[in-house]
Structure 1
Amino acid sequence: MVHPYFNPAQAADFNALAAKTDSSFDLKYFGFHGLAGNCRTLLALSGAKFTSSVPEDWASEKPDAPFGVMPLLTETSADGKTTIHIAESDAIERYLARKFGFLGKDAFEEVLVNTFVSHDQFLISQIFAKYLINKDPEVKAANKESLITNNIVPWIKYHEQHLQANGANGHYVGDKTSLADVKTELVIRLIQSMSGEDLVSESKTPAIWEVLTQLNKVEGLAAWKKTEVYKTFSEKNFAGIGFY
Protein backbone atom coordinates (compact mmCIF):
# COMPACT_ATOMS: atom_id res chain seq x y z
CA MET A 1 0.00 0.00 0.00
CA VAL A 2 1.28 3.47 -0.88
CA HIS A 3 2.15 5.55 2.15
CA PRO A 4 -0.26 8.52 2.53
CA TYR A 5 2.65 10.96 2.13
CA PHE A 6 3.44 9.46 -1.29
CA ASN A 7 -0.07 8.87 -2.62
CA PRO A 8 -0.35 10.24 -6.21
CA ALA A 9 -4.03 10.96 -5.60
CA GLN A 10 -3.02 14.07 -3.65
CA ALA A 11 -0.94 15.53 -6.51
CA ALA A 12 -3.51 18.10 -7.64
CA ASP A 13 -4.11 19.42 -4.13
CA PHE A 14 -0.38 19.33 -3.42
CA ASN A 15 0.54 21.31 -6.53
CA ALA A 16 -2.20 23.86 -5.92
CA LEU A 17 -1.12 24.43 -2.33
CA ALA A 18 2.56 24.58 -3.29
CA ALA A 19 1.85 27.75 -5.27
CA LYS A 20 0.28 29.56 -2.32
CA THR A 21 2.09 31.42 0.46
CA ASP A 22 -0.75 32.01 2.92
CA SER A 23 -0.75 28.51 4.41
CA SER A 24 -0.08 27.60 8.02
CA PHE A 25 2.47 24.98 9.00
CA ASP A 26 3.25 22.53 11.75
CA LEU A 27 6.76 21.12 11.94
CA LYS A 28 7.05 18.04 14.09
CA TYR A 29 10.44 17.22 15.61
CA PHE A 30 12.18 16.74 18.91
CA GLY A 31 12.61 19.67 21.29
CA PHE A 32 15.91 20.93 19.89
CA HIS A 33 17.20 22.29 16.58
CA GLY A 34 18.81 19.19 15.10
CA LEU A 35 17.62 18.34 11.61
CA ALA A 36 14.66 20.70 11.89
CA GLY A 37 16.65 23.86 12.58
CA ASN A 38 16.92 25.05 8.98
CA CYS A 39 13.28 24.19 8.28
CA ARG A 40 12.21 26.41 11.18
CA THR A 41 14.58 29.14 10.02
CA LEU A 42 13.01 29.14 6.55
CA LEU A 43 9.52 29.34 8.01
CA ALA A 44 10.57 32.22 10.26
CA LEU A 45 12.24 34.06 7.38
CA SER A 46 9.11 33.69 5.27
CA GLY A 47 6.86 35.22 7.90
CA ALA A 48 4.56 32.20 7.66
CA LYS A 49 2.36 31.05 10.51
CA PHE A 50 3.95 27.96 11.99
CA THR A 51 4.12 25.87 15.12
CA SER A 52 6.90 23.59 16.29
CA SER A 53 5.30 20.52 17.78
CA VAL A 54 7.14 17.92 19.83
CA PRO A 55 5.57 14.45 19.92
CA GLU A 56 4.44 13.33 23.36
CA ASP A 57 4.99 9.66 22.53
CA TRP A 58 7.21 9.34 19.49
CA ALA A 59 7.49 5.57 19.91
CA SER A 60 3.78 5.21 19.16
CA GLU A 61 3.87 7.69 16.25
CA LYS A 62 7.11 6.46 14.70
CA PRO A 63 5.56 3.55 12.74
CA ASP A 64 3.30 6.00 10.88
CA ALA A 65 6.18 8.14 9.60
CA PRO A 66 7.35 7.27 6.07
CA PHE A 67 10.86 6.34 7.24
CA GLY A 68 10.32 6.23 10.99
CA VAL A 69 12.10 9.56 11.49
CA MET A 70 11.41 13.28 11.79
CA PRO A 71 11.08 16.14 10.92
CA LEU A 72 7.61 15.96 9.42
CA LEU A 73 5.91 19.00 7.91
CA THR A 74 2.15 19.51 7.72
CA GLU A 75 0.87 22.38 5.60
CA THR A 76 -2.75 23.53 5.80
CA SER A 77 -4.42 25.89 3.35
CA ALA A 78 -5.70 29.26 4.54
CA ASP A 79 -9.30 28.04 4.35
CA GLY A 80 -8.43 24.89 6.29
CA LYS A 81 -9.75 22.60 3.56
CA THR A 82 -6.49 21.19 2.21
CA THR A 83 -3.65 19.54 4.09
CA ILE A 84 -0.42 18.06 2.75
CA HIS A 85 2.49 16.31 4.44
CA ILE A 86 6.21 16.25 3.63
CA ALA A 87 8.93 14.10 5.19
CA GLU A 88 12.73 14.44 5.32
CA SER A 89 14.58 17.63 6.20
CA ASP A 90 16.19 18.16 2.79
CA ALA A 91 12.88 17.77 0.96
CA ILE A 92 11.17 20.12 3.43
CA GLU A 93 13.91 22.73 3.12
CA ARG A 94 13.84 22.76 -0.68
CA TYR A 95 10.04 22.80 -0.80
CA LEU A 96 9.86 25.78 1.57
CA ALA A 97 12.72 27.53 -0.21
CA ARG A 98 10.98 27.23 -3.56
CA LYS A 99 7.60 28.26 -2.15
CA PHE A 100 8.93 31.41 -0.49
CA GLY A 101 11.46 32.49 -3.10
CA PHE A 102 14.66 31.29 -1.44
CA LEU A 103 15.86 29.27 -4.46
CA GLY A 104 16.56 32.18 -6.77
CA LYS A 105 14.46 33.85 -9.45
CA ASP A 106 15.23 31.51 -12.37
CA ALA A 107 16.83 28.20 -13.30
CA PHE A 108 20.35 29.65 -13.33
CA GLU A 109 20.03 31.12 -9.85
CA GLU A 110 18.44 27.93 -8.55
CA VAL A 111 21.45 25.94 -9.74
CA LEU A 112 23.78 28.43 -8.06
CA VAL A 113 21.87 28.25 -4.79
CA ASN A 114 21.82 24.45 -4.88
CA THR A 115 25.54 24.35 -5.65
CA PHE A 116 26.42 26.33 -2.53
CA VAL A 117 23.88 24.36 -0.50
CA SER A 118 25.47 21.09 -1.63
CA HIS A 119 28.94 22.23 -0.61
CA ASP A 120 27.63 23.44 2.76
CA GLN A 121 25.79 20.19 3.36
CA PHE A 122 28.90 18.10 2.76
CA LEU A 123 30.78 20.01 5.45
CA ILE A 124 27.81 19.82 7.82
CA SER A 125 27.62 16.05 7.42
CA GLN A 126 31.37 15.70 8.00
CA ILE A 127 31.27 17.75 11.20
CA PHE A 128 28.31 15.80 12.55
CA ALA A 129 29.70 12.37 11.70
CA LYS A 130 33.33 12.90 12.68
CA TYR A 131 33.04 15.36 15.54
CA LEU A 132 29.69 16.19 17.12
CA ILE A 133 28.33 12.68 17.61
CA ASN A 134 31.70 11.06 18.35
CA LYS A 135 32.00 10.14 22.02
CA ASP A 136 35.65 9.03 22.06
CA PRO A 137 37.71 12.04 23.25
CA GLU A 138 40.92 10.94 21.52
CA VAL A 139 39.25 10.17 18.22
CA LYS A 140 37.23 13.36 18.44
CA ALA A 141 40.38 15.45 19.00
CA ALA A 142 42.12 13.81 16.04
CA ASN A 143 39.06 14.25 13.86
CA LYS A 144 38.82 17.91 14.84
CA GLU A 145 42.34 18.60 13.61
CA SER A 146 41.68 16.74 10.37
CA LEU A 147 38.34 18.48 9.82
CA ILE A 148 39.85 21.91 10.31
CA THR A 149 42.76 21.24 7.97
CA ASN A 150 41.05 19.27 5.23
CA ASN A 151 37.49 20.56 5.29
CA ILE A 152 36.89 23.75 7.24
CA VAL A 153 39.87 25.83 6.13
CA PRO A 154 39.20 25.10 2.42
CA TRP A 155 35.49 25.81 2.95
CA ILE A 156 36.33 29.19 4.48
CA LYS A 157 38.71 30.02 1.64
CA TYR A 158 36.26 29.28 -1.15
CA HIS A 159 33.13 30.67 0.46
CA GLU A 160 34.81 33.91 1.51
CA GLN A 161 36.08 34.22 -2.07
CA HIS A 162 32.68 33.61 -3.69
CA LEU A 163 30.84 35.88 -1.26
CA GLN A 164 33.38 38.65 -1.84
CA ALA A 165 32.88 38.22 -5.59
CA ASN A 166 29.15 38.82 -5.07
CA GLY A 167 29.87 42.10 -3.31
CA ALA A 168 30.15 40.82 0.27
CA ASN A 169 26.50 41.78 0.69
CA GLY A 170 25.59 38.81 2.87
CA HIS A 171 24.13 36.77 0.02
CA TYR A 172 25.48 34.10 -2.30
CA VAL A 173 23.21 34.87 -5.24
CA GLY A 174 22.26 38.42 -6.16
CA ASP A 175 21.01 40.51 -3.27
CA LYS A 176 18.30 38.22 -1.92
CA THR A 177 18.20 35.73 0.92
CA SER A 178 18.48 32.13 -0.26
CA LEU A 179 18.67 28.62 1.11
CA ALA A 180 22.44 28.86 0.66
CA ASP A 181 22.55 31.72 3.18
CA VAL A 182 20.52 29.65 5.64
CA LYS A 183 22.83 26.66 5.30
CA THR A 184 25.90 28.82 5.83
CA GLU A 185 24.42 30.28 9.01
CA LEU A 186 24.38 26.72 10.35
CA VAL A 187 27.95 26.11 9.16
CA ILE A 188 29.11 29.22 11.02
CA ARG A 189 27.53 27.97 14.25
CA LEU A 190 29.11 24.55 13.80
CA ILE A 191 32.57 25.94 13.15
CA GLN A 192 32.33 28.25 16.14
CA SER A 193 31.24 25.36 18.34
CA MET A 194 34.59 23.74 17.50
CA SER A 195 36.92 26.73 17.50
CA GLY A 196 35.19 29.84 18.82
CA GLU A 197 36.23 32.81 16.69
CA ASP A 198 39.62 31.39 15.75
CA LEU A 199 38.47 30.53 12.23
CA VAL A 200 35.27 32.44 11.50
CA SER A 201 34.57 35.93 12.83
CA GLU A 202 33.58 39.38 11.66
CA SER A 203 37.22 40.46 11.39
CA LYS A 204 38.70 37.29 9.89
CA THR A 205 35.95 36.35 7.44
CA PRO A 206 33.90 39.52 6.85
CA ALA A 207 31.98 38.26 3.82
CA ILE A 208 30.97 35.01 5.52
CA TRP A 209 30.05 36.90 8.68
CA GLU A 210 27.86 39.28 6.69
CA VAL A 211 25.62 36.33 5.81
CA LEU A 212 24.85 35.91 9.50
CA THR A 213 24.39 39.65 9.94
CA GLN A 214 21.90 39.97 7.09
CA LEU A 215 19.88 36.94 8.14
CA ASN A 216 19.53 38.25 11.67
CA LYS A 217 18.16 41.53 10.30
CA VAL A 218 15.11 39.77 8.87
CA GLU A 219 12.22 40.59 11.17
CA GLY A 220 10.64 37.16 11.18
CA LEU A 221 13.87 35.34 12.02
CA ALA A 222 14.89 37.90 14.63
CA ALA A 223 11.50 37.51 16.32
CA TRP A 224 11.73 33.70 16.22
CA LYS A 225 15.16 33.73 17.87
CA LYS A 226 13.77 35.83 20.73
CA THR A 227 11.04 33.34 21.59
CA GLU A 228 11.30 31.09 24.62
CA VAL A 229 10.71 28.09 22.37
CA TYR A 230 13.78 28.92 20.28
CA LYS A 231 15.90 29.55 23.37
CA THR A 232 14.82 26.24 24.88
CA PHE A 233 15.63 24.42 21.64
CA SER A 234 19.08 26.07 21.63
CA GLU A 235 19.87 25.01 25.20
CA LYS A 236 18.77 21.43 24.53
CA ASN A 237 20.71 21.40 21.27
CA PHE A 238 23.88 22.40 23.09
CA ALA A 239 23.31 19.85 25.84
CA GLY A 240 22.61 17.03 23.41
CA ILE A 241 24.77 17.77 20.38
CA GLY A 242 27.26 20.42 21.44
CA PHE A 243 26.32 23.57 19.56
CA TYR A 244 23.72 26.31 19.82
Structure 2
Amino acid sequence: MTSYIFRYFNIVGLGETTRLLLTAAKVRWTEESSDFEQGKLDNPNGCPVVLIQKSSDGSPDLVFNEFIPMERYLARTYGFLPADPSQAALQEQLRDEQRGVMKNLLISVAIGIEATQVVRDLVFIMFEERLEKFINAHTELLRKNGNTGYSFSSTLSYADLMIYSFMRLVIIEFAQSSKDIARRFKGKMTPELAKLAATVEADPLLEAYVSQRGKFSNVF
Protein backbone atom coordinates (compact mmCIF):
# COMPACT_ATOMS: atom_id res chain seq x y z
CA MET A 1 0.00 0.00 0.00
CA THR A 2 1.30 3.44 -0.94
CA SER A 3 2.06 5.80 1.94
CA TYR A 4 3.50 9.29 2.32
CA ILE A 5 5.81 11.30 4.55
CA PHE A 6 5.10 15.03 4.57
CA ARG A 7 7.84 17.34 5.85
CA TYR A 8 6.91 20.88 6.73
CA PHE A 9 6.63 23.35 9.58
CA ASN A 10 3.71 23.02 12.00
CA ILE A 11 2.00 26.16 10.72
CA VAL A 12 -0.77 27.10 8.33
CA GLY A 13 1.52 27.80 5.41
CA LEU A 14 2.36 26.81 1.87
CA GLY A 15 1.85 23.15 2.74
CA GLU A 16 -1.76 23.41 3.85
CA THR A 17 -3.24 22.31 0.52
CA THR A 18 -1.06 19.20 0.67
CA ARG A 19 -2.34 18.39 4.16
CA LEU A 20 -5.89 18.75 2.90
CA LEU A 21 -5.27 16.55 -0.15
CA LEU A 22 -3.59 13.78 1.84
CA THR A 23 -6.40 13.80 4.40
CA ALA A 24 -9.21 13.87 1.83
CA ALA A 25 -7.57 11.06 -0.16
CA LYS A 26 -7.77 8.78 2.90
CA VAL A 27 -4.22 7.54 2.34
CA ARG A 28 -1.65 6.56 4.94
CA TRP A 29 0.60 9.50 5.74
CA THR A 30 2.67 10.92 8.53
CA GLU A 31 4.04 14.39 9.11
CA GLU A 32 7.57 15.21 10.20
CA SER A 33 8.94 18.57 11.31
CA SER A 34 11.11 20.12 8.64
CA ASP A 35 14.75 21.05 9.21
CA PHE A 36 14.78 23.55 6.35
CA GLU A 37 18.49 24.38 6.32
CA GLN A 38 19.63 20.77 6.67
CA GLY A 39 17.15 19.74 4.00
CA LYS A 40 18.73 22.15 1.53
CA LEU A 41 22.17 20.70 2.25
CA ASP A 42 21.00 17.10 1.90
CA ASN A 43 19.38 17.60 -1.50
CA PRO A 44 21.67 18.12 -4.55
CA ASN A 45 19.38 20.79 -6.02
CA GLY A 46 19.42 22.81 -2.79
CA CYS A 47 15.69 22.44 -2.10
CA PRO A 48 14.45 20.51 0.94
CA VAL A 49 12.27 17.46 0.34
CA VAL A 50 8.66 18.08 1.38
CA LEU A 51 6.89 14.88 0.31
CA ILE A 52 8.06 11.29 -0.03
CA GLN A 53 5.85 8.65 -1.61
CA LYS A 54 6.71 5.17 -0.36
CA SER A 55 5.83 1.90 -2.05
CA SER A 56 4.26 -1.06 -0.30
CA ASP A 57 7.69 -2.37 0.76
CA GLY A 58 8.52 0.95 2.43
CA SER A 59 11.06 2.16 -0.12
CA PRO A 60 10.74 5.71 -1.51
CA ASP A 61 9.62 5.70 -5.13
CA LEU A 62 8.75 9.38 -5.60
CA VAL A 63 10.17 12.51 -3.97
CA PHE A 64 8.92 16.10 -4.26
CA ASN A 65 10.53 19.37 -3.24
CA GLU A 66 8.10 21.76 -4.96
CA PHE A 67 4.57 22.29 -3.71
CA ILE A 68 2.58 22.87 -6.89
CA PRO A 69 3.77 19.76 -8.82
CA MET A 70 3.21 17.77 -5.62
CA GLU A 71 -0.33 19.11 -5.21
CA ARG A 72 -1.24 18.42 -8.81
CA TYR A 73 0.11 14.89 -8.63
CA LEU A 74 -1.95 14.13 -5.52
CA ALA A 75 -5.04 15.84 -6.94
CA ARG A 76 -4.83 13.81 -10.16
CA THR A 77 -3.98 10.54 -8.46
CA TYR A 78 -6.85 10.72 -5.98
CA GLY A 79 -9.57 12.23 -8.13
CA PHE A 80 -9.62 15.89 -7.06
CA LEU A 81 -8.77 17.02 -10.59
CA PRO A 82 -11.01 15.91 -13.48
CA ALA A 83 -9.70 13.47 -16.07
CA ASP A 84 -10.62 15.87 -18.87
CA PRO A 85 -7.43 17.90 -19.53
CA SER A 86 -9.32 21.09 -20.39
CA GLN A 87 -11.37 20.93 -17.18
CA ALA A 88 -8.27 20.15 -15.12
CA ALA A 89 -6.46 23.10 -16.71
CA LEU A 90 -9.12 25.50 -15.39
CA GLN A 91 -8.32 24.47 -11.82
CA GLU A 92 -4.57 24.48 -12.41
CA GLN A 93 -4.86 28.01 -13.78
CA LEU A 94 -6.66 29.09 -10.60
CA ARG A 95 -3.77 27.71 -8.56
CA ASP A 96 -1.26 29.67 -10.64
CA GLU A 97 -3.30 32.84 -10.19
CA GLN A 98 -3.43 32.24 -6.44
CA ARG A 99 0.35 31.78 -6.39
CA GLY A 100 0.71 35.20 -7.99
CA VAL A 101 -1.46 36.79 -5.30
CA MET A 102 0.58 35.00 -2.65
CA LYS A 103 3.83 36.37 -4.07
CA ASN A 104 2.42 39.89 -3.93
CA LEU A 105 1.34 39.28 -0.35
CA LEU A 106 4.77 38.06 0.75
CA ILE A 107 6.46 40.99 -0.98
CA SER A 108 4.16 43.45 0.77
CA VAL A 109 5.00 41.88 4.13
CA ALA A 110 8.75 41.69 3.52
CA ILE A 111 9.17 45.16 2.07
CA GLY A 112 7.36 46.71 4.99
CA ILE A 113 10.32 46.05 7.26
CA GLU A 114 12.66 48.72 5.86
CA ALA A 115 10.81 50.57 3.10
CA THR A 116 9.49 54.09 3.34
CA GLN A 117 5.80 54.59 4.00
CA VAL A 118 5.24 55.67 0.39
CA VAL A 119 6.77 52.46 -0.96
CA ARG A 120 4.90 50.32 1.57
CA ASP A 121 1.59 51.92 0.60
CA LEU A 122 2.27 51.46 -3.11
CA VAL A 123 3.19 47.79 -2.77
CA PHE A 124 0.18 47.10 -0.57
CA ILE A 125 -2.16 48.81 -3.03
CA MET A 126 -0.82 46.55 -5.80
CA PHE A 127 -1.42 43.50 -3.60
CA GLU A 128 -4.96 44.58 -2.72
CA GLU A 129 -5.85 45.19 -6.36
CA ARG A 130 -4.66 41.74 -7.40
CA LEU A 131 -6.33 40.11 -4.39
CA GLU A 132 -9.65 41.79 -5.14
CA LYS A 133 -9.59 40.60 -8.75
CA PHE A 134 -8.80 37.05 -7.60
CA ILE A 135 -11.61 37.08 -5.03
CA ASN A 136 -14.11 38.50 -7.51
CA ALA A 137 -13.18 35.91 -10.14
CA HIS A 138 -13.55 32.99 -7.74
CA THR A 139 -16.79 34.40 -6.36
CA GLU A 140 -18.20 34.57 -9.88
CA LEU A 141 -17.10 30.96 -10.43
CA LEU A 142 -19.00 29.89 -7.31
CA ARG A 143 -22.11 31.75 -8.47
CA LYS A 144 -21.99 30.08 -11.88
CA ASN A 145 -21.86 26.73 -10.10
CA GLY A 146 -25.10 27.54 -8.29
CA ASN A 147 -23.50 28.76 -5.05
CA THR A 148 -23.35 25.20 -3.75
CA GLY A 149 -20.19 25.85 -1.76
CA TYR A 150 -18.15 23.97 -4.36
CA SER A 151 -16.19 25.59 -7.19
CA PHE A 152 -16.99 22.89 -9.74
CA SER A 153 -19.71 20.25 -9.91
CA SER A 154 -21.03 19.12 -6.52
CA THR A 155 -18.01 17.44 -5.00
CA LEU A 156 -14.76 18.49 -3.37
CA SER A 157 -12.10 19.57 -5.86
CA TYR A 158 -8.51 20.76 -5.96
CA ALA A 159 -9.79 24.30 -6.51
CA ASP A 160 -11.85 24.15 -3.31
CA LEU A 161 -8.90 22.94 -1.24
CA MET A 162 -6.57 25.51 -2.75
CA ILE A 163 -8.77 28.54 -2.08
CA TYR A 164 -9.70 27.24 1.37
CA SER A 165 -6.06 26.84 2.39
CA PHE A 166 -5.27 30.32 1.06
CA MET A 167 -8.06 31.91 3.09
CA ARG A 168 -7.00 29.98 6.15
CA LEU A 169 -3.38 31.04 5.72
CA VAL A 170 -4.14 34.75 5.51
CA ILE A 171 -6.91 34.94 8.10
CA ILE A 172 -5.28 32.69 10.72
CA GLU A 173 -1.51 32.77 10.18
CA PHE A 174 -1.21 36.39 9.14
CA ALA A 175 -3.46 37.44 12.00
CA GLN A 176 -0.49 36.62 14.23
CA SER A 177 2.17 38.61 12.36
CA SER A 178 0.38 41.02 10.02
CA LYS A 179 -2.95 41.90 11.58
CA ASP A 180 -3.69 44.66 9.09
CA ILE A 181 -3.39 42.27 6.15
CA ALA A 182 -5.61 39.69 7.85
CA ARG A 183 -8.19 42.34 8.71
CA ARG A 184 -8.32 43.75 5.18
CA PHE A 185 -8.46 40.29 3.62
CA LYS A 186 -11.32 39.29 5.91
CA GLY A 187 -13.16 42.47 4.95
CA LYS A 188 -13.04 41.48 1.28
CA MET A 189 -14.52 38.02 1.80
CA THR A 190 -17.80 37.39 -0.01
CA PRO A 191 -20.75 35.27 1.19
CA GLU A 192 -19.92 32.78 -1.55
CA LEU A 193 -16.36 32.27 -0.29
CA ALA A 194 -17.59 32.05 3.29
CA LYS A 195 -19.96 29.28 2.19
CA LEU A 196 -17.08 27.50 0.44
CA ALA A 197 -15.06 27.55 3.66
CA ALA A 198 -17.99 26.12 5.64
CA THR A 199 -18.69 23.50 2.96
CA VAL A 200 -15.08 22.31 2.89
CA GLU A 201 -15.01 22.02 6.68
CA ALA A 202 -18.27 20.04 6.67
CA ASP A 203 -17.11 17.55 4.04
CA PRO A 204 -16.83 14.05 5.57
CA LEU A 205 -13.52 13.50 3.77
CA LEU A 206 -11.95 16.22 5.91
CA GLU A 207 -13.33 15.23 9.29
CA ALA A 208 -9.87 14.23 10.54
CA TYR A 209 -8.35 17.51 9.33
CA VAL A 210 -10.98 19.66 11.04
CA SER A 211 -10.73 17.59 14.21
CA GLN A 212 -6.98 18.18 14.39
CA ARG A 213 -6.62 21.73 13.07
CA GLY A 214 -9.99 23.25 13.90
CA LYS A 215 -12.43 25.40 11.95
CA PHE A 216 -12.01 28.97 10.83
CA SER A 217 -15.20 29.52 8.81
CA ASN A 218 -16.98 30.78 11.92
CA VAL A 219 -14.91 33.99 11.80
CA PHE A 220 -16.96 35.30 8.87
TM-score bracket, shorter-length normalisation = 0.7 to 0.9
State the match for 1:197 in structure 2: 186
Instruction: Sort the Cα spacing of 1:35 and 1:134 in 2 relative to 1 into closer, same or farther, 3 A.
Output: farther
- Aligned-pair identity (%): 23
Moved over 6 A (4+): none
Match of 1:93 in 2: 71
After superposition, residues 128-167 of structure 1 pair within 5 angstroms as 128-131=106-109, 134-136=112-114, 138=117, 139-140=119-120, 142-148=122-128, 150-167=129-146
Find the partner of 2:89 among 101, 106, 111.
111
Q: Report the CA distance between 1:118 and its aligned residue.
A: 2.0
1:34 aligned counterpart, secondary structure:
coil
Residue in structure 2 matched with residue 184 of structure 1 by the alignment = 163
Match of 1:63 in 2: 41
**Residue 147 of structure 1: CA displacement?**
2.1
- Alignment-derived partner of residue 200 in structure 2: 215
Which of these residues, 9, 15, 32, is aligned with residue 30 of structure 1? 9
SS of the residue aligned with 1:70? coil
Structure 2: 5+ residue runs without aligned partners? 172-181, 215-220
- The answer on whether the counterparts of 1:29 and 1:53 sit within 8 Å (CA) in structure 2 is yes
CA displacement at 1:78 relative to structure 2: 3.3
Contact 1:24 1:76 in 2 (8 A): yes
Secondary structure at 2:15 match in 1: helix
Count matched residues: 203
The match for 2:100 is: 122
CA distance in 1, matches of 2:157, 2:208: 19
- Give the TM-score taking structure 1 as reference length: 0.71
TM-score, normalised relative to structure 2? 0.78
- Give the aligned CA root-mean-square deviation in angstroms: 2.7
Give the conservation status (yes or no) of the 8 Å contact 2:20–2:206: yes
